[in-house]
């Protein structure tokens, strides 16, 4: 292991000193989760946590975003650091004192921890402003959970040079309770899958359930489409460039004795390359239309448009991914570094930022106990190792510090 420079060793020590404050902040955010794009209480809490720091703040207009800019001692480019803010429509089932106080809402993906880490990084970097030749944008984004918050922030001018300067690199962390506590994992290229919501409406001809021959029953046609999709994926998509098609919702009919005029299938497509993404989308259209037509019905296929979510592949810049892994090794030791061999099929809308700016997303292991299986992301019982808030703050700050370091 190459010994970390003195500035990085001191950064890690300072983050450890902030840990009690970060835990308290994370728990306060955890108690009051908000869902979607309108997060006024969360936005206000983040703003209070940043009060007194030498930052310029800007709030969103169409969503409760918050961006804080730190100007370094010398001019230079801008590094973007991002945390998401929104919770999930889940009722928490953890018997802890800081459990969600709002039924049907919970920080089951750890975005409360992401905010605490980034606020910790802001405190660390503000204290080291004289070492920075450039600026840092601390981006607090609502609506990551399929609400398109990252794109909305871009539409509102997140990368506007008048405020942001020249953003040359972007970095984000996602905590993972199923990875060993304190580990840092990422990879060059595709890290997380693209996600495209779809809706297939099969239109037949309704009638009495006793005379199906006088109708065109859309239900068995829809079921045939579901089964055919899985066979199509297995035989048409390359095994080493995978895709997943999940039909998660089927809706048809109004009464047991009535054959409906239509049936609706809804779900998600996930893929890790633009080529496979296009192949699957075109294949779904062709398959649904072909099966429906064979039965005298029709199919309307909508994918990633209108109210259906669409998120591109989260793809890391190769050189910056290598730098993050090297930095993590210096800060925490090589035994805590994981160079992932494959992407994961979950999705992340930080991907739209990475389409505009070279950058990296990394995973931070937060497994609460190695002695027992951890609950996954989005579980009502998801827990995380809060000691790793200091790890995340250190890595955020270390990424910016090494990118903007000056000899001053």
Render 34-69 in DSSP notation, one character per residue: -BSS--HHHHHHHHHHHTTSS-EEEE-SSS--EEEE
Q: How confident is the model at residue 304 (pLDDT cuts 50, 70, 90)?
A: confident
Centre a 10 Å sphere on the Cβ of residue 356 and count the other Cβ atoms it contains: 14
Convert the pLDDT of each residue in 137-176 to its tens digit: 999 999 999 899 999 999 999 999 999 999 999 999 999 9
Convert the pLDDT of each residue in 308-324 to its tens digit: 889 999 999 999 999 99
Convert the pLDDT of each residue in 28-46 to its tens digit: 999 999 999 999 999 999 9
Q: In the predicted model, is pLDDT for residue 226 greater than 70? A: yes
Q: What is the pLDDT of residue 372?
A: 79
Question: Which of 252-261, 294-303, 305-314 shows the lowest per-residue confidence on average (mean pLDDT)?
Answer: 305-314
Q: What is the pLDDT of residue 405?
A: 84
Q: Which residues of 68-104 are buried (b: 16+ CB within 10 A; e: fewer)?
A: bbbbbeeebebbbbbbbbbbbebebebeeebebeeee
For residues 347 and 314, the answer to whether their CB atoms sit within 8 Å is: yes
Gap between the Cα atoms of 84 and 107, Å rounded? 11
| 356-366 average pLDDT score | 97
**High-pLDDT (> 70) share of the chain, %:** 98
Convert the pLDDT of each residue in 47-104 to its tens digit: 999 999 999 999 999 999 999 999 999 999 999 999 999 999 999 999 999 999 999 9
User: Considering the chain, what is the average pLDDT of its residues?
Assistant: 95
| 302-313 average pLDDT score | 89
Q: Which residues of 151-165 are buried (b: 16+ CB within 10 A; e: fewer)?
A: bbbbebebbeeeebb
Q: Which helix (H) or strand (E) holds 316?
A: strand 314-316
The model's pTM is 0.92
Q: What is the pLDDT of residue 254?
A: 95
Q: Which domains does the chain have, with CATH numbers?
A: 6-191+313-404 (3.40.630.10), 194-303 (3.30.70.360)
Q: What is the pLDDT of residue 113?
A: 98
Convert the pLDDT of each residue in 171-223 to its tens digit: 999 999 999 999 999 999 999 999 999 999 999 999 999 999 999 999 999 99
Centre a 10 Å sphere on the Cβ of residue 171 and count the other Cβ atoms it contains: 27
Q: What is the pLDDT of residue 408?
A: 41
Closest among 257, 264, 253 to 203, alpha carbons compared = 264
Place of tokens 């070279």: 358
Q: What is the pLDDT of residue 1?
A: 43
């Amino acid at each position: 292991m190459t010994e970390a420079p003195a500035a990085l060793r001191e950064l890690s020590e300072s983050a450890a000193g902030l840990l009690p404050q970060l835990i308290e902040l994370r728990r306060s955010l955890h108690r009051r989760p908000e869902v979607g794009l309108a997060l006024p209480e969360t936005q206000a809490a983040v703003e209070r946590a940043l009060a007194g720091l030498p930052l310029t703040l800007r709030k969103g207009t169409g969503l409760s975003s918050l961006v804080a800019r730190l100007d370094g001692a010398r001019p230079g480019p801008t590094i973007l650091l991002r945390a998401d803010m929104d919770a999930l429509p889940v009722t928490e089932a953890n018997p802890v004192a800081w459990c969600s106080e709002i039924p049907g809402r919970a920080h089951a993906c750890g975005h409360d921890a992401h905010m605490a880490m980034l606020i910790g990084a802001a405190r660390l970097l503000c204290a080291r402003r004289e070492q920075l030749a450039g600026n840092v944008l601390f981006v607090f984004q609502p609506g990551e959970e399929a609400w398109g918050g990252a794109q909305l922030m871009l539409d509102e001018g997140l990368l506007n040079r008048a405020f942001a300067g020249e953003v040359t690199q972007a970095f984000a962390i996602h905590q993972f309770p199923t990875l060993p506590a304190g580990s840092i994992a990422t990879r060059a290229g595709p890290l997380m899958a693209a996600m495209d919501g779809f809706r297939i409406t099969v239109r037949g001809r309704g009638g009495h359930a006793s005379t199906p021959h006088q109708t065109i029953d859309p239900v068995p046609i829809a079921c045939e489409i579901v089964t055919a999709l899985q066979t199509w994926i297995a035989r048409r998509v390359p095994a080493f460039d995978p895709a997943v098609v999940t039909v998660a919702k089927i809706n048809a009919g109004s009464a047991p004795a009535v054959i409906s005029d239509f049936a609706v299938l809804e779900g998600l497509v996930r893929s890790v390359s633009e080529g496979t993404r296009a192949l699957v989308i075109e294949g779904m259209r062709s398959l649904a239309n072909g099966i429906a037509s064979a039965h005298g019905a029709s199919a309307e296929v909508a994918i990633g448009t209108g109210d259906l979510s669409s998120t591109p592949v989260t793809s890391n810049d190769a050189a910056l991914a290598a730098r993050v892994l090297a930095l993590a090794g210096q800060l925490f030791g090589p035994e805590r570094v994981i160079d992932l061999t494959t992407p994961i099929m979950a999705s992340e809308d930080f991907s739209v930022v990475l389409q505009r700016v070279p950058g990296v997303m990394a995973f931070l292991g937060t497994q609460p106990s190695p002695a027992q299986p951890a609950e996954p992301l989005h579980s009502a019982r998801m827990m995380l190792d809060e000691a790793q808030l200091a790890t995340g703050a250190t890595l955020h700050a270390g990424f910016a510090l090494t990118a903007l370091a000056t000899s001053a």
